[in-house]
Structure 1
Amino acid sequence: MSTTNTDSPALAATFILAATTFIAGTMLIAKALGTDVLGTPLHPLQISHGRFIFAFLAIATVTAVLRPRLTRPSWRLHLGRTSFGWAGVSLMFASVAYIPLADATAITFLNPVFGMMLAIPLLGEKVGPWRWGAAAVALIGAMVLLRPTPASFQPAALLALAAAMIMGLELIFIKKLANRESPLQVLLINNTIGMLIASVAVITVWQMPSPAQWAALVTLGVLMACAQACFVNGMARADASFVAPFSYATLIFAALYDFLGFGVTPDTVTILGAAVILTGAAVLAWREGRQRRPIAPVTPSDDTPNAA
């Protein structure tokens, strides 16, 4: 598998959209674990610990079965990526326990905008007007879903905003690693380091989960492993500034899961915000496809007029 295939925008978008379905699921599970839905609420650091340890077990199992060829890792990049990822995930899980899921999701997934902006000075990527426009449209959709009210700016909302900024930095490390190492190696090392960090951080807040909470933690870790696999593969196939806006689809899937799992019917504002986000992503994909599509050469024939 090539680690530097950056000429597959359609496949990259597909991977990112698949990742959003899994990520939305993890946020719903984190909400249940951080409240009293499944028993005594778990601390965000314990939820984060469960995410890393069970994701590690899932990816380690896949690695043992596939036995891929591993290369010399860039430990500095891995440590930076995992540190930002652990901090961002922990803050995200903390926020969903205190503010509405739609608000937390919308604020947290502003991280693609931070990632796209940081990709300019840190990765040297060029972001043209179409990408800026599509990102702006997606951002508008996120703000529509956020429903700005005074309650949105309570301290817990700042946790989600901090998570977005930190995970925007993580995007840069993911992109650098995707161009150097295989996706499976990146995931294995990331979750190994993350498990170690989370295991130390959870010591002072650990409590015995209920059976339902254990099942939820396992599901959370497996879903996150699937999300990571899709996300890293997507990042390896297109510029970070191209794939970033597609991450906003998480907001759409979160609303869908809310409806299927808890009977919460999306209102007009939710539908409008989702439509705006999809429009931004669709315009970006259409424009990128036109720019990358090769032009077939014209073979002169008796019916072809001379263009001279």
Structure 2
Amino acid sequence: MTALMPIKSKNIQGIAFMLIGVFLMSSMDAVGKFLVQADYSVIQILAIRGMFNLTILLGWMVTHGGFGSVKTKQYKGHGLRIIFGLLAPLLFFMSLKHLPLAEATVIFFVSPFIMTALSVPIFKEKVGPHRWGAIFVGFAGVLIVMQPTSGLLELEAFMVLGASLSYCAIMLIGRWLGTTESTFTIIFYMTLGTATITGFASIFVWQPIPLEDVGLIAAMAVLSLTGNICLIKSFRVGEVGVITPFEYTGLFWAVTLGYLVFAEIPAAHVWTGVAVIGASGLYLVYRENRLKR
């Protein structure tokens, strides 16, 4: 019994980190949607956010070993991760200009199913018929939200799908890089690359921005970095099978923030999609826990 107590304690910590991290990332999405709807270029938003993030990371690096702490030989891996690290937020925030926050978040939650499917050819992992079934049901939930047969299918929905695919690539490449690189090194190079690219690109779309909106972008940077740190710590502290279900609280926050900030009320088909995706995702976690036992 006493041997189980440290595990339970770590799992509680992992759950707490996951809940906080998901809330912070959902809040960042809400701030991003507010700025995009204010007609700021997504490139400009990402450039300013990247500069804030890079400044924070550089400050941390100076006090923790200098440039020696980010030495690497995996330039191709980091380069690929930078490309997808740029595409994921670019496509997602562009979609938020017209797509409700809850709807975009629900579609984005196809990523766990994509990563599970891609783990077969990339990492040679075995996915049984139960998990393949959950993957197909999860995709069905996304199709319910997108309504491809209604004639109302929007370009923004495909942007979210592109963002989700890019996010999957970020995670899978990060998993591969994690065998030789530290977490800080992986985050540093993606931040450096995306901040540099968007910084140059923003020259062509730059427009004056009030100080209070610069403050909102700075808040996005803090929410992003803090949220990512919490998510990374949650997976390091707790058991994956225990903490993963709490990632779906992001759907709750998307609906809540969408209503409170933008007065968005999800349609009936979105609620149906939430139920289908949530159920299939939780079943994936259930199968993983059962197989481990």
**Fold shared, TM-score > 0.5 on shorter chain:** yes
Report the Cα distance in structure 1 between the residues aligned to 2:283 and 2:110, rounded to whole angstroms. 19
Q: Secondary structure at the match of 2:69?
A: coil
Give the equivalent residue in structure 1 for 2:34: 32
Retained in 2: the 8 A contact 1:134–1:283?
Answer: yes
Q: Is the 8 A contact 1:9 1:288 kept in 2?
A: no
Amino acid at match of 2:151: P
Unaligned runs of 5+ in 1: 1-7, 294-308
TM-score between the two structures when normalised by the length of structure 1:
0.74
Q: Who is 1:305 aligned against?
A: none
Q: Is the 8 A contact 2:106 2:274 kept in 1?
A: no
1:162–1:282 CA distance, 2 compared to 1 (3 A): closer
Q: Which amino acid aligns with 1:27?
A: D
Q: Distance in 2 between matches of 1:121 and 1:240?
A: 22
Partner of 1:194 in structure 2? Answer: 194
Change (3 A) 1:65 1:189: same
Alpha-carbon distance between aligned partners in 2 of 1:145 and 1:202, rounded to the nearest angstrom: 33
Question: Residue 150 of structure 1 aligns with which residue?
Answer: 151
Long gaps (5+) in structure 2:
1-9
Q: Distance in 2 between matches of 1:57 and 1:200?
A: 17
Matches for 1:99-114 after TM superposition, within 5 Å: 99-114=99-114
Partner in structure 1 of residue 4 of structure 2: none
The match for 1:59 among 52, 57, 60 is 57
Counterpart for residue 296 of structure 1? none
Looking at structure 2, the residues matched to 64 and 48 of structure 1 have their Cα atoms a distance apart, in angstroms, of 24
The 2-side partners of 1:165 and 1:241 are apart by 23
Q: CA deviation at 1:208?
A: 1.9
How big is the shift at 1:86?
Answer: 0.5
For 1:247-258, what aligned pairs fall within 5 Å after superposition?
Answer: 249-258=249-258
| Number of residue-to-residue matches in the alignment | 281
More helix by share: 2
Q: 1:31 to 1:238 in 2, by over 3 A?
A: same
- Summarize the Cα distance change of 1:167–1:53 in structure 2 as closer, same or farther, 3 Å threshold: same
Residues 253 and 61 of structure 1: CA distance in aligned 2, closer, same or farther (over 3 Å): farther
Q: Tell me which moved more, 62-71 or 217-226.
A: 62-71
The residue correspondences of 1:78-227 to structure 2 (distance < 5 A) are 78-146=78-146, 149-151=150-152, 153-227=153-227
Name the CA shift for 1:247/1:169 in 2 (closer, same or farther; >3 Å).
farther
Cα deviation, residue 96, structure 1: 0.9
Equivalent residue number for residue 280 of structure 2? 280
Partners of 1:282 and 1:136 lie apart in 2 by: 14
Amino acid at match of 1:59: L
Secondary structure of the 1:31 match is: helix
Q: For the structure 1 residues 72 and 125, does the alpha-carbon distance in structure 2 shift closer, same or farther, using more than 3 Å as the test?
A: farther
**Alignment TM-score, normalising by the size of structure 2:** 0.78
In structure 2, what is the Cα distance between the partners aligned to 1:223 and 1:190? Answer: 17
Q: For the structure 1 residues 241 and 163, does the alpha-carbon distance in structure 2 shift closer, same or farther, using more than 3 Å as the test?
A: farther
Write the distance in 2 (CA, Å) between the matches of 1:285 and 1:11.
19
1:47 and 1:110, CA in 2 relative to 1: closer, same or farther beyond 3 A?
farther
Measured on the aligned residues, the alpha-carbon RMSD in Å equals 3.6
Larger Rg: 1
Counterpart contact for 2:102–2:258, Cα < 8 Å: no
Asked if structure 2 preserves the Cα contact closer than 8 Å seen for 1:25 and 1:257, the reply is yes
Distance in 1 (CA, whole Å) between partners of 2:252 and 2:144 is: 12
The CA deviation string for residues 61-98 of structure 1, in whole angstroms up to 9 with x for no partner, is 44445559836422221111111110221111111113
Cα 1:70–1:50 change in 2 (3 A) is: same
Distance in 2, matches of 1:290 and 1:52, equals 41
- Contact conserved, 1:113 with 1:168, CA < 8 A, in 2? no
What's the CA shift for 1:247?
Answer: 5.3
